[in-house]
Every structure is written in C-alpha cells, then in structure tokens.
Amino acid sequence: MRPDLEIIQNWIEPESHVLDLGCGNGALLDFLKGSKNVTGIGLEIDPKDIRSCIEKGVSVIEQNLDESLSNFQNNSFDTVLLAQTLQALNRPDHLIDEMLRIGKKGIVTFPNFGNWKSRTHLATKGRMPISEFMPHQWYETPNIHFCTVNDFDALCVSKNIRVLARTVVDSKHQGSWAMKFWPNLFGETAIYHLARN
C-alpha cells in the first residue's frame, strides 16, 4: 500500500463510514473493508480506476470533485478522505469546507511544495521543480494548486479548523527527527487529520 495510506488507516476507526474523494483504484477502501470492517464509498473520474474499484467490490461513484458535492448530506460520514488530490482541485479551500460538512473528521494528504528539494530546484535552476514525485511540466500538470505545510497550516487557522494530528514523511514515507522539527523543509508528503472546531 502507498505509505501515506498506511499512516491514514491508523486514524480510521473500525466499523466507521468513510468517503474517499479521488479514491483511485480503491486500494485503501478495500483494505479498510477487510481490516477494519469499514463501510465506504469512493468518488473517482478515471475510468480505469473506476473499473479497478468495481473489480475489488469497492463502491465507487463517477463524480468530479470540482463540481458540487451537495448530493452528500451533512455529517453523513465518519471520515472524509482526500489523498494526494488537493493540489489538483480548482478550489481546494471550498473542498476542505465540504469535507468537514459531510464528515465528522477529514484526512488530507498532499505533496509539500516547501520541501528543501523543491526549494533548491527553484533556487538554483530558477525553474519549476520536476522530480519523480512531481513529474509534470508546469504547462501540463494536473497539479494546479501546490502549497506548503505552512500554507496549509495558515488555511486551517483562517478557517478555524482543528488540526487533530499532522505528520510529514519523505518519499520512502519514513519520518525522521529532522522532519519532526522542520516539517515544511524536510517533509515530502504532508498528512493532516482535521475536525471542525
């Protein structure tokens, strides 16, 4: 399993009801169903991913996150997940609001643009960073709203969102003492557990 998902699953209660926004091939929901008896639904627009979900028996709805999520009721899920999708949305801030309307808690993961590798790339080459982790050219990238750990912290403060937990990991998805002290500099993937205040 993708290691950010490994961390996420620790935050999900057994028997809970989970909505996975941009659920990809359904691997996390499938795992949660098997290991924690979680019920859940994924939203996805990629036909190949949707088919993978169906093959696993994961319930999936073809729905674009950039369009409304008004078809989901307030408080209808225990946890709403958004893994590695935030940066590809038209209005990430609106979606965070929606997540915490629909779910009692939210989990968000995103690539941290404040990581030293990105900073060094921009500082030395003067060009938008391209890495194994962020492989697209600036003009063709689906990732239109990159942010840093500090940016996201600021957004949570401005929206009065409670950060229950925050962790950052590197590309091998391991934490280290450096990441613990300087998450915005050393973390490559940021993982947030959120709730309404």
Partner 1 sequence: MNSIPSDSAGIIEPQKFHFDKPLNLTSGRILPCFDLIVETYGELNAAKSNAILICHALSGDHHAAGYHSLEDKKAGWWDACIGPGKAIDTNLFYIVSLNNLGGCGGSTGPTSINPETGRHYGPNFPIVTVKDWVTSQVMLMEKLKIIKWAAVVGGSLGGMQVLQWSISFPERLHSAICIAGAPKLSAQNIAFNEVARQSITSDPEFFEGHYLERNTAPKKGLTLARMVGHITYLSDSAMRSKFGKTVNDCEKEGDNFGRDLKSGELSFGFDADFQVESYLHYQGERFSENFDANTYLLMTKALDYFDPSIDYDDNLSEAFSESNCKFLLISFSTDWRFPPERSREIVNDLLKANKEVTYLEIEADQGHDAFLLPVPRYIEALSSYLNHIHTEVVKNAS
User: Closer CB to partner 1, residue 59 or residue 141?
Assistant: 59
Quote the CA–CA distance of 8 and 78 in Å, as a whole number. Answer: 14
* b/e code 48-76 from CB counts within 10 Å (16+ = b): ebbebbeebebebeebebeeebeebeeee
Alpha helix segments (H runs only) across the chain? 3-9, 27-36, 47-56, 92-102, 116-125, 149-158, 177-181, 183-186
By the rule CB under 8 A, 60 interacts with partner 1? yes
By the rule CB under 8 A, 54 interacts with partner 1? yes
Among 6, 62, 66, 93, binds partner 1 (CB under 8 A): 62
User: Closer CB to partner 1, residue 48 or residue 136?
Assistant: 48
By the rule CB under 8 A, 93 interacts with partner 1? no
By the rule CB under 8 A, 38 interacts with partner 1? no
**CA atoms within 13 A of residue 166's CA, in its CB half-sphere:** 19
Among 50, 161, 190, 191, binds partner 1 (CB under 8 A): 50
By the rule CB under 8 A, 39 interacts with partner 1? yes
Among 14, 15, 71, 132, binds partner 1 (CB under 8 A): 71
Among 76, 87, 141, 171, binds partner 1 (CB under 8 A): 76
